[in-house]
Amino acid sequence: MSEWRNIARSDELSEGGAIEIVLEGRIIAVFRSDGALHAIDGMCAHQGGPLAKGVVAHGCVTCPWHGWQYELATGIQCVNRQPLQQTFEVRESDDGCIEVKLEVEA
Ligand code: FES
Q: Report CA torsion sign: 93, 42, 11, 60.
A: negative
Residue range 22-67, pLDDT digits in tens: 998 999 999 999 999 999 999 999 999 999 999 999 999 999 999 9
Domain residue limits, the chain: 2-95
Name the fold adopted by 2-95. Answer: Rieske Iron-sulfur Protein (2.102.10)
Pocket test for ligand 1, best of 68, 69, 77, 82 (most atoms within 8 A of CB): 68
pTM: 0.95
Site residues for ligand 1, CB cut-off 6 Å? 44, 46-49, 63, 65-68
Exposed/middle/buried for residue 103 (C-beta within 10 Å: 0-12, 13-18, 19+) = exposed
Query: Which residue's CA is minimally distant from atom 3 of ligand 1?
Result: 66
Number of residues written out for the chain: 106
Query: Which residue's CA is minimally distant from atom 4 of ligand 1?
Result: 66
